[in-house]
Amino acid sequence: MPLDGLSAESITANLNTRVIGRRVIYYPQVASTNDVARQEAQQGAAEGTVVIADEQTAGRGRIKRVWLSPRGNISLSIILRPSLSHLPYLIMVASLAVVRSIELVTGLKAQIKWPNDILINGKKVCGILIENEVRGSALAFAVIGIGINLKLSLADFPEVAAAATCLADELGKEVSRLEMIRSLLVEFERLYLMLSDRGEFIFREWQSRLITLGRKVRVISGDSVLAGIVESVATDGSLLLRLPDGGSTRIVAGDVNLREQN
């Protein structure tokens, strides 16, 4: 019997969406929902298809990191087929959808650490991994992988205990996984459908939730590590870092460590 009664039917029943989650593929256990979603997309799965698992045995994070996904948390991937021009906005849509669903379901305030880590009280509660397949000059599909720590016994994972948190610990009680998933899909769709004419609104919302702006940071980008102050972000999702020598550099992908508050 799946945990929390999680099943494709329980997620889709009367779900108030037109595209996202119209089809849900549920597994008790997979290596990575992003890998399954990629295979489904390559075989023609429709936009909005969701692959979800109770547990991942080889969950993947950004920059080749491992993502811990024990049973009882949220590990899902959404298949999208947007235009190439909408690609930079997917990070914004996904992080805002998580922030909003956390706030709606738990009342907890969540923030975004550039580019798409979701934090509560400074600790990471959710990670997002976006992977694409481009064919020629067109985007064949994008897979949006979302992992939310719902109930994580951090004592069992000392390697992440200092930097991570889970919704149950932050709220002081358990959070319904089903309610979180359904709310996330509804919020995701609402924001995603805005992309055709309100991309600027999505960008402003995302920007207003970033805790990274104006902060002293250390950025690991490829092989280089840069220290500086985050000056701004652009609509393509990149970050402008002001360097100690007065110069600046634009960072498209990387990992940010926040340093002491200014």
**Mask for 166-185, x = binds ligand BTN (CB under 6 A):** --------------------
How far apart are the C-alpha atoms of 207 and 249, rounded to whole Å?
19
Contact 70, 3 (CB under 8 A): no
Is 62 a binder of ligand BTN (CB under 6 A)?
A: yes
Q: Which of residues 69 and 183 has its CB atom nearest to ligand BTN in the complex?
A: 69
Select from 219, 83, 246, 101 the least CA-distant residue to 167: 101
Is 120 a binder of ligand BTN (CB under 6 A)?
A: no
Peptide bond just before 70 cis, omega within 30 deg? no
Contact 253, 237 (CB under 8 A): no
Cα 130 to Cα 62, 75, 103, 167, distances in angstroms: 9, 13, 23, 22
Min dist CB 106 to ligand BTN, Å, is 19
Is 61 a binder of ligand BTN (CB under 6 A)?
A: yes
**Mask for 33-52, x = binds ligand BTN (CB under 6 A):** xx------------------
Residue nearest ligand BTN, CB atom distance: 127
From candidates 32, 149, 183, 212, binder to ligand BTN by CB under 6 A: 32
Min dist CB 244 to ligand BTN, Å, is 28
Min dist CB 205 to ligand BTN, Å, is 20
Residues in the chain: 262
Is 67 a binder of ligand BTN (CB under 6 A)?
A: yes
How far apart are the C-alpha atoms of 116 and 105, rounded to whole Å?
20
Q: Which of residues 127 and 228 has its CB atom nearest to ligand BTN in the complex?
A: 127
What token pair was written down for 219? Answer: 């950025």
From candidates 65, 198, 204, 259, binder to ligand BTN by CB under 6 A: 65
State the angle between helix axes of 87-106 and 177-209 in degrees (0 to 180), rounded to the nearest 10. 120
Is 95 a binder of ligand BTN (CB under 6 A)?
A: no
DSSP per-residue string spanning 83-139: -GGGHHHHHHHHHHHHHHHHHHHH----EEETTTEEEETTEEEEEEEEEEEEETTEE
**Mask for 138-157, x = binds ligand BTN (CB under 6 A):** -------xxx----------
Residue ranges in contact with ligand BTN by CB under 6 A = 32-34, 56, 59-62, 65, 67, 69, 75-77, 117, 127-129, 145-147
